[in-house]
């Protein structure tokens, strides 16, 4: 990965290291464009580490009659799964049908049939309708007096930040230069056309300029901030809504599988088991505060707890049961008169008079198609005469990818037998790193014991291969530890800091700052005001 002095002239400069930006960088670099990506913080710092972590067809878009969107993201699921079968894992979703809420049995049955058809779901994975008794057998925690029946349908779960990182690594392998902790401070304009950007290196405070034939703004919730800087914030604008997830011990909310249930206010919520925890989300509320200070409020958390307790009455979750949380912003496109939940999740491309191309909206799931559309536009407008390849990202396997689900299982079994790992650790490694797990295991130091040994090996892998520059990068966006195992972050804060100080030659002052930042992140994730 790159954090060295970049060359100064590029064909394409991408602003933003979320899934949209890294997707564009991979597509452009693999077609032959000299590409650089500039990210102000870490990869996936924005919405791309704060989603529900599903690669999904978006059942709710069917309710909004957005057939085109369902078809596109529905068929993309299988492609993204194929690119990284270890990281995008099939997950059957249970949809309980209520007496009083939702679409009802027959409409849901027809809706899911259409969903499977639009998304081209394989016959064996197509929706299965369940009787009331079958539904309660699948999930005995459900409130019995309200269940009318249910359905099981196919989705995929992932780790959004890890998916973003692996796409960034693939982009780098295809020649893209990647800069993190570098903020685009302004645009360079010549003859009324954008031809580069001024960049602030956030870690050193130095300023430098990069030139590019085309600049693409893929800054997610910050897209309009940059359009404003470019004096091109006209017409359509972003409408930001906040989505919160909470995490509880799986023992306290032991759902047997992922479940998508109706709430009294007409919304739907996911509860997803993940190793030792279950996570629940999401809310969908208007957001007008600081874009870099998005956290879950007490009110957000209580809303989710009420929703769970109403549908699973024996569970009785309380505020003190919530171990951790995350909150993200949906960069949706504003439509007059529509509420947060009604807004379309479709992506849109805006072109300014000065040539800045901005892309907003969309889904994690549709990143590849969004990238293809943007790069097609860039080539049509600026590189029509250059001999470049057509988009082939559907065939670029991501780093660590194993052949298929069966190969992942075999690999996991090998780790259990040969490396003497317990099943949960083997599953964690394979689902996060795929075949790269072996490299991590080789980095284990003999003089360190147990859990810390593996954690330090993982940290060293991420520093060497994944551009980890702060403890927060590692705990939030490489491992998800802050969300899914916050106790481990608290327990091993000191040894992790010592390892980073030694490996990255941090001063004592820098190490102390890192410690304070990490403690703040722990508080933001687990204390609700």
Residue numbers of the site for ligand FAD (CB under 6 A)? 15-21, 38-41, 45-48, 50-54, 56, 183-184, 218-222, 226, 243, 282, 328-331, 362-365
Q: How far is the CB of 286 from ligand FAD (least distance, A)?
A: 13
CB count within 10 Å of CB 443 equals 15
Separation of alpha carbons 392 and 397, rounded Å: 11
DSSP-derived secondary structure for 437-477: HHHHHHT--TTS-HHHHHHHHHHHHHHHHS---SHHIIIII
By beta-carbon proximity to ligand FAD, the closer residue of 121 and 184 is 184
By beta-carbon proximity to ligand FAD, the closer residue of 97 and 258 is 258
Separation of alpha carbons 461 and 456, rounded Å: 9
By beta-carbon proximity to ligand FAD, the closer residue of 30 and 325 is 325
By beta-carbon proximity to ligand FAD, the closer residue of 87 and 440 is 87
Q: How far is the CB of 453 from ligand FAD (least distance, A)?
A: 32
Q: Residue-wise over 162-193: b if at least 16 C-beta within 10 A, else e?
A: bbbbbbbbbbbebebbbbbbbbbeebeeeeeb
Separation of alpha carbons 369 and 462, rounded Å: 28
Q: How far is the CB of 476 from ligand FAD (least distance, A)?
A: 12
**Do 362 and 345 meet the contact criterion of CB atoms below 8 Å apart?**
yes
Q: How far is the CB of 50 from ligand FAD (least distance, A)?
A: 6
By beta-carbon proximity to ligand FAD, the closer residue of 340 and 481 is 340
Separation of alpha carbons 8 and 208, rounded Å: 9
| Omega before residue 304 within 30° of 0, cis | no
Q: How far is the CB of 433 from ligand FAD (least distance, A)?
A: 21
Q: How far is the CB of 208 from ligand FAD (least distance, A)?
A: 13
Which residues on adjacent β-strands are paired with residue 246?
Answer: 280, 325
By beta-carbon proximity to ligand FAD, the closer residue of 244 and 500 is 244
- Residue linked to tokens 């990818």: 401
Two tokens at 16? Answer: 């933003």
Write phi, then psi, for 211 (nearest 5 degrees): -105, 145
Q: How far is the CB of 330 from ligand FAD (least distance, A)?
A: 4
Two tokens at 331? Answer: 């960069």
**Do 23 and 167 meet the contact criterion of CB atoms below 8 Å apart?**
yes
Q: How far is the CB of 507 from ligand FAD (least distance, A)?
A: 25
By beta-carbon proximity to ligand FAD, the closer residue of 112 and 184 is 184
By beta-carbon proximity to ligand FAD, the closer residue of 292 and 422 is 292
């Amino acid at each position: 990965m790159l954090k060295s002095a970049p060359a100064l002239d590029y064909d394409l400069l991408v602003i933003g290291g979320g899934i949209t930006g890294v997707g564009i960088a991979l597509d452009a670099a693999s077609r032959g464009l000299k590409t650089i990506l500039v990210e102000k913080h870490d990869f996936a710092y924005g919405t791309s580490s704060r989603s529900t972590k599903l690669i999904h067809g978006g059942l709710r878009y069917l309710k909004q009659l957005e057939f085109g969107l369902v078809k596109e993201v529905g068929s993309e699921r299988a492609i993204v799964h194929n690119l990284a079968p270890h990281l995008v894992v099939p997950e059957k979703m249970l949809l309980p049908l209520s007496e009083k809420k939702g679409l009802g049995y027959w409409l849901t049955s027809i809706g899911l049939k259409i969903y499977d058809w639009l998304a081209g779901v394989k016959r064996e994975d197509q929706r299965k309708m369940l009787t009331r008794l079958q539904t309660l057998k699948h999930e005995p925690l459900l409130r019995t007096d309200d269940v009318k029946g249910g359905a099981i349908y196919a989705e995929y779960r992932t780790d959004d930040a890890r998916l973003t990182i692996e796409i960034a690594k693939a982009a780098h392998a295809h020649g893209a230069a990647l800069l993190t902790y570098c903020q685009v401070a302004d645009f360079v304009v010549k003859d009324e056309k954008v031809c580069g950007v001024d960049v602030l290196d956030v870690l050193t405070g130095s300023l430098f300029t990069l030139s590019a034939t085309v600049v693409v703004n893929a800054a997610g919730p910050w897209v309009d901030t940059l359009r404003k800087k470019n004096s091109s914030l006209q017409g359509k604008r972003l409408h930001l809504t906040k989505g919160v997830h909470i995490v509880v011990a799986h023992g306290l909310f032991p759902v047997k599988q992922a479940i998508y249930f109706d709430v009294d206010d007409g919304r739907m919520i996911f509860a997803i088991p993940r190793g030792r925890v279950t996570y629940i989300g999401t809310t969908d509320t208007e957001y007008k505060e600081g874009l870099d200070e998005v956290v879950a409020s007490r009110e957000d958390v209580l809303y989710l707890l009420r929703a769970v307790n109403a549908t699973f009455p024996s569970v009785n979750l309380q505020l003190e049961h919530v171990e951790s949380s995350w909150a993200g912003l949906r960069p949706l496109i504003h439509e007059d008169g529509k509420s947060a939940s009604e807004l379309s999740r479709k992506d849109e491309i805006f072109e300014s008079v000065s040539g800045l191309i901005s892309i907003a909206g969309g889904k994690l799931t549709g990143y590849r198609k969004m990238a293809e559309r943007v790069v097609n536009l860039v080539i049509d407008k600026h590189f029509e005469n250059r001999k470049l390849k057509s988009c082939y990202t559907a065939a670029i396997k991501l780093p660590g990818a194993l052949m298929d689900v069966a190969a992942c299982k075999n690999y996991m079994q090998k780790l259990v037998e040969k490396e003497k790992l317990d099943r949960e650790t083997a599953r964690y490694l394979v689902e996060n790193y795929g075949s790269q797990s072996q490299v991590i295991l080789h980095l284990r130091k003999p003089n360190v014991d147990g859990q810390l040994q593996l954690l330090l090996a993982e940290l060293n892998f991420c520093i060497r291969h994944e551009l980890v520059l702060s403890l927060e990068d590692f705990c939030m966006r490489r491992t998800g530890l802050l969300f899914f195992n916050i106790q481990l972050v608290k327990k091993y804060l000191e040894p992790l800091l010592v390892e980073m100080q030694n490996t990255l030659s941090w001063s004592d002052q820098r190490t102390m700052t890192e410690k304070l930042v990490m403690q703040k992140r722990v508080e933001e994730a687990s204390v609700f005001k």
